[in-house]
Amino acid sequence: MMMQLLISLLMVSAIITIVPTSVESARIRHYKWDVKNEFKSPDCFKKLVITINGRSPGPTILAQQGDTIIVELKNSLITENLAIHWHGIRQIGSPWFDGTEGVTQCPIQPGETFKYQFVVDRPGTYLYHAHYGMQRDAGLYGSIRVALPDGELEPFAYDYDRSVILNDWYHKSTNELSTGLSSIPFQWVGEPQSLLIQGRGKFDCSSLTSPSSTDPKVCNSSNPECSPYVLTVIPGKTYRLRVSSLTSLSALSFQIEGHNMTVVEADGHYVEPFVVKNLFIYSGETYSVLIKTDQNPTRNYWMQTNIVSRSSNTSAGLAILNYYPNHPKRSPPSSPSEGPKWDDVDPRVAQSLSIRARKGMGRAPPQTSDRVIVLLNTQNEVNGFRRWSVNNVSFQHPKTPYLISLKHKLTGQFDEKPPPDGYDFANYNIYVKQNNSNATTSNGIYRLKFNTTVDIILQNANTMNPNNSETHPWHLHGHDFWVLGYGSGKFDIDNDPKKYNLVDPIEKNTVPVHPYGWTALRFVANNPGTWAFHCHIESHFYMGMGIVLEEGIERVGKLPSSILGCGASKGLRVP
């Protein structure tokens, strides 16, 4: 048994340490994926899961800077459309393959095969996931790992490289969840049933009471599908863990028993290293941390994730850090920790403030901006429906994707009136529940002048529940942005910009807005296309917390016929 373990470990290590070809001889990485529904038990409870080639999480895309990725994607879901977003890939020169249904493409219909093709233009840790309805919640996601060109080295040393995706998990189907959100009366999705680490978790089957759910064919704690994820390590080495979150709802804390983590990368950008015991991570974020396997080698250790920022009864997610040659299924002798307090905001804000660009390796932002957009996140009722809104406007997708409407000059496909750049700064009280009776829905967009510098201020406020403000991770497609600062309370448009970090701000594509706080971002509108910017909490975007930006549409090349075929573009598609 030990010999088999050693052989397997050496084989995996050999595969992962292969260095791809250089950017001068960039390769084409070709994948064929079949996406379909299968019954799986990732947390011991059997339900329909969306898989790629039978797997959830899906296959990891391994590439090198400058490589071209081609994914031939067959939609075998039978009754559902599909789209996949390549999260963190800027799609320079290929905005039509961003994979955002309703924004950059028509959905892939059942039975169709769609080809995504794009260049990974820089190294780092990225993701892919469904971007149609709430399908991401059903298990359609995976990792993208992009290496440096040959001859170039990371500014930190490590022996092995591993990816770990964190997720939360619901037992209800995505259709049940989304139907509740769009019903009168409103039916909230509630807290998740489990937390998954690399697609595996453990739900307490004994807590179920109905005869149908207590059937061991439905929930079986001994099912090997839900045995803990095991990360096998060799003592005395340094590991780079690429930790990502694709939670539907939850903000998380991630920790490894007995081990410190040194944060070195965030969303594909090098971080001035800092050490944490708990890594706070929000949906859509990716981090690289270094750990040293320098603890007692005669035992295994817990890897653990807990929900923060929400009062939740969801049990911790657990995995095993297996020190070779201990048996990988041997549980650690200690009990898992309680994790940080869910409502302790200070350490989460402190981590956000700690993330700076690595010295000598970050790009300095423009010192001034050409336009400032302040986005107030609120919860409202619109025509009896519970909605999330930005400046009292709740986003809804058009029937014809924006990129197609704008490039083909199809008029009347979305609201031509632009959404507001701000709100009533003087009179709006962010600390109380507001009526917001003037809230509305719209599919209008923000038109940005090409190559200008734009500031976006994300402002948090009270929800429709008294004394409640939530954490919102916002993700920008097609760009990275500089994180200029965070603050508590209401953003002061006259004085707070004087406190911006213009020296060494980190660049990211996803960033949290903390309760009753604000976050300031800056980016250059230099990537022609139409780009979504939205809360990465699945239910919040579904309920309208997002906007769409347009820039340089006249510079976009001819659209591929494959993205056409819905709404007013039905007659434009060439078979």
Look at residue 10 and tell me whether its pLDDT is greater than 70. Answer: no
User: How confident is the model over 478-527, as pLDDT tens digits?
Assistant: 999 999 999 999 999 999 999 999 999 999 999 999 999 999 999 999 99
% of the chain with per-residue pLDDT over 70:
95
Look at residue 425 and tell me whether its pLDDT is greater than 50. Answer: yes
User: How confident is the model over 136-185, as pLDDT tens digits?
Assistant: 999 999 999 999 999 999 999 999 999 999 999 999 999 999 999 999 99
Q: Please give the DSSP secondary-structure letter assigned to residue 49.
A: E
Q: How far apart are CA 341 and CA 346, in angstroms?
A: 11
State the residue range of the domain holding 56. 25-149
Residue 161: closest CA among 61, 62, 16? 16
User: How confident is the model over 195-245, as pLDDT tens digits?
Assistant: 999 999 999 999 988 776 668 889 999 999 999 999 999 999 999 999 999
* Residue 573 included in any domain: no
* Residue 466 included in any domain: yes
How is residue 90 written in tokens? 């800027």
* Residue 201 included in any domain: yes
Q: Domain check: are 140 and 159 in the same one?
A: no
How is residue 273 written in tokens? 């290293």
How is residue 170 written in tokens? 């619901």
Q: Domain check: are 429 and 309 in the same one?
A: no
Q: Please give the DSSP secondary-structure letter assigned to residue 139.
A: T
> DSSP assignment of 185-236, as one string?
S-----S-SEEEETTB----GGG--SHHHHSTTTB-TT-GGGSPPEEEE-TT
Look at residue 11 and tell me whether its pLDDT is greater than 50. Answer: no
What's the angle, vertex CA 53, arms to CA 47 and CA 56, rounded to 5?
A: 45
Length of the chain measured in residues: 575
- Encode burial over 278-294: b for 16+ CB neighbours within 10 A, e otherwise: bbbbbbbbbbbbbbbbe
- Bridge partner residues of 113 (DSSP): 74
For the beta carbon of residue 350, count every other beta carbon within 10 angstroms: 11
Cα 89 to chain centroid distance, Å, stands at 12
* Residue 317 included in any domain: yes
Q: Domain check: are 337 and 264 in the same one?
A: yes
> DSSP assignment of 23-88, as one string?
GGGPPEEEEEEEEEEEEE-TTSB-EEEEEETTBSS-PPEEEETTPEEEEEEEE--SS--B-EEEET
- Bridge partner residues of 116 (DSSP): 71
Q: Of 131, 149, 167, which residue sits at a domain end?
A: 149
What confidence category does residue 415 fall into, taking pLDDT thresholds of 50, 70 and 90? very high
Ramachandran area for residue 220 (φ above 0: left; ψ -120 to 50: alpha; else beta): beta
Number of domains in the chain: 3
Instruction: Give the CB-side neighbour count of residue 38, counting CA atoms within 13 A.
Output: 15
* H or E element, residue 180: helix 174-181
Q: Domain check: are 204 and 80 in the same one?
A: no
pLDDT of residue 21: 39
Q: Of 111, 128, 149, which residue sits at a domain end?
A: 149
Q: Domain check: are 195 and 225 in the same one?
A: yes
What confidence category does residue 573 fall into, taking pLDDT thresholds of 50, 70 and 90? confident
Q: Domain check: are 143 and 170 in the same one?
A: no
pLDDT of residue 24: 53
pLDDT of residue 213: 62
Cα 216 to chain centroid distance, Å, stands at 33
| Strand order through the sheet with 61-64 | 61-64, 141-147, 124-130, 84-87
Q: Of 149, 171, 202, which residue sits at a domain end?
A: 149
User: How confident is the model over 48-101, as pLDDT tens digits?
Assistant: 999 999 999 999 999 999 999 999 999 999 999 999 999 999 999 999 999 999
What confidence category does residue 15 fall into, taking pLDDT thresholds of 50, 70 and 90? very low
Instruction: Give the CB-side neighbour count of residue 46, counting CA atoms within 13 A.
Output: 14
C-alpha distances (whole Å) from 538 to each of 477, 513, 544 are 15, 16, 10
